[in-house]
């Protein structure tokens, strides 16, 4: 009874073994075919092995050396417009955001009390001048009488003292007039500088005081304008050398995420740098001045300042994208006439986001790979998809 089940299972095991062997054979055949396929591929498919790349020529150029720092725009001058006398505000002669000139009357407080004080001081001086004139006549008479012994010398001396007293009183009256005139002039609040007004904080009819914490408005001078920025203390020798040679050029550009400079906002010059390094951050503050003719710079805004501290004359340049880094230093892929590339070690003297200066290892006129280098090795065959533009200088683009 047990013999039949054992006999029936043997063919089933044999079939499974045969199927497994066939599967292994098929897999081996597929693998062998894949291994041998490149060797037996038709000649027309060899073009597919070429790596597409972009090329650029190394060239001789003058390269400006820039130092980039993040800065804050500041008004060249800023004034908080405040009143100097108490009184109700009766006139406001400016609009918010208006450009004003130094001396323009921007607001007026009630001048009547100050006009009355001025008129009173003028009248008091006139009264004392009349008394002074009479005292001088008396003095002249007493001096004649004393000379003829018709009166005592003491009487003449008293008259002389009276003249001196009235003369001092007149001078005091003139000082009171000057003070009253000053107070009267302060009822008109004028612009002390050229600039642009900010938002108005007080309306007509309010009582204003010199002790008020809030000014009427602020005036900021925008032409020219300043930018304060910082650079590492390691750059201080280069900054000092450039400053001794003259005011270094400065370029204000829009801030871009990643630290690269964006659109050019204005061009100016370095005004000064601080007299000490910040020990907490190891940086030094610098101030650049810009004409700001188009109002591209606004107080409080963040910008990137590019300070030119040197110009490398007649150096070999390539695009920064052509420089590759390895364990042994920088290298480039040099394009050969036979359609292959070779790896060439180079020495980079200066580099920014646009251009690299090659001080050794590469002549002018060589063609280097700028894109596609990640897929290349020594002797790789390449196909040039299009020619890249010549390596640019390091000055930011301004659309000109």
Same domain, 131 and 176: yes
Same domain, 268 and 366: no
**What's the rounded mean pLDDT across residues 134-151?**
82
CA gap 186, 213 in Å, rounded: 18
Select from 193, 169, 200 the least CA-distant residue to 99: 193
Note whether 334 and 346 are within 8 A (CB). Answer: no
Pick from 67-76, 212-221, 383-392: least confident: 383-392
Same domain, 103 and 213: yes
Q: How many domains does the chain have?
A: 4
Is position 31 within any domain?
no
Mean pLDDT of the chain: 85
pLDDT at 141 over 90: no
Same domain, 266 and 369: no
Of 203, 219, 235, which closes a domain? Answer: 219
Is position 364 within any domain?
yes
More confident position, 258 or 36: 36
CA dihedral 206, 209, 215, 220 (to 10 degrees): 110
Q: Which residues, other chains included, contact 144 with Cβ-Cβ below 8 Å and sequence gap of 6+?
A: none
Of 310, 338, 368, which closes a domain? Answer: 310
- Nearest-Å Rg of the Cα atoms of the chain is 45
pTM of the model: 0.69
In DSSP terms, 91 is beta-bridged to: 108
| End-to-end CA gap in the chain | 102
Same domain, 325 and 292: no
pLDDT digits (tens, 9 = 90+) for 143-193: 888 787 877 788 888 888 988 998 999 999 999 999 999 999 999 999 999
Pick from 75-79, 127-131, 244-248, 279-283: least confident: 244-248
Handedness of CA 347, 361, 363, 326 (dihedral sign): negative
Of 276, 310, 344, which closes a domain? Answer: 310
Is position 245 within any domain?
yes
Alpha carbons within 13 angstroms on the beta-carbon side of residue 232 total: 4
Same domain, 176 and 159: yes
Is position 261 within any domain?
yes
Note whether 108 and 90 are within 8 A (CB). Answer: yes
CA gap 301, 226 in Å, rounded: 11
CATH number of the structural domain spanning residue 363? 2.40.420.20
CATH number of the structural domain spanning residue 96? 2.40.50.100
Q: What pLDDT band is residue 139 in, cutting at 50, 70 and 90? A: confident
Give me the pLDDT at residue 46, please.
Answer: 46
Note whether 284 and 273 are within 8 A (CB). Answer: yes
Domain hosting 93: range is 78-110+195-219
């Amino acid at each position: 009874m047990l013999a039949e089940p054992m006999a029936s299972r043997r063919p089933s095991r044999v079939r499974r073994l045969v199927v497994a062997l066939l599967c292994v054979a098929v897999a081996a055949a597929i693998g062998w075919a894949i291994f041998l396929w490149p060797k037996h591929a038709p000649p027309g498919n060899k073009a597919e092995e070429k790596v597409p790349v972009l090329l650029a020529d190394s060239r001789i150029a003058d390269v400006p050396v820039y130092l980039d720092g993040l800065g804050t725009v500041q008004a060249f001058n800023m004034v908080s417009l405040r009143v100097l006398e108490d009184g109700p505000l009766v006139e406001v002669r400016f609009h918010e955001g208006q450009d004003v000139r130094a001396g323009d009357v921007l607001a007026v407080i009630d001048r009547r009390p100050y006009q009355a004080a001025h008129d009173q001081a003028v009248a008091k001086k006139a009264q004392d001048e009349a008394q002074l004139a009479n005292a001088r006549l008396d003095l002249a008479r007493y001096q004649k009488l004393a000379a003829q012994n018709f009166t005592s010398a003491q009487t003449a001396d008293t008259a002389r003292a009276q003249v001196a007293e009235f003369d001092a009183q007149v001078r005091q009256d003139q000082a009171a007039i000057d003070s009253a005139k000053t107070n009267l002039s302060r009822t008109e609040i004028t612009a002390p500088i050229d600039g642009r007004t900010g938002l108005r904080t007080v309306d007509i009819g309010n009582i204003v005081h010199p002790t008020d914490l809030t000014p009427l408005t602020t005036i900021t001078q925008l032409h020219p304008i300043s930018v304060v920025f910082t650079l590492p203390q390691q750059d201080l020798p280069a900054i000092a050398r450039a400053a001794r040679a003259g005011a270094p050029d400065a370029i204000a550009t829009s801030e871009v995420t990643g630290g690269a400079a964006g659109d050019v906002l204005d061009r100016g010059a370095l005004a000064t740098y601080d007299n000490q390094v910040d020990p907490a951050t190891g940086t030094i503050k610098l101030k650049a001045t810009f004409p700001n003719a188009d109002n591209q710079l606004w107080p409080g805004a963040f910008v990137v300042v590019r300070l030119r501290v040197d110009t490398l004359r007649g150096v070999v340049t390539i695009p920064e994208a052509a420089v590759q880094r390895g364990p042994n230093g920088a290298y480039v892929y040099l394009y050969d006439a036979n359609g292959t590339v070779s790896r060439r070690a180079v020495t980079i003297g200066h580099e920014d986001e646009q251009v690299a200066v090659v001080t050794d290892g590469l002549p002018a006129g060589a063609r280097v790979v700028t894109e596609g280098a990640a897929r290349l090795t020594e002797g790789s065959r390449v196909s040039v998809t299009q020619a890249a533009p010549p390596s640019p200088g390091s000055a930011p683009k301004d659309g000109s």
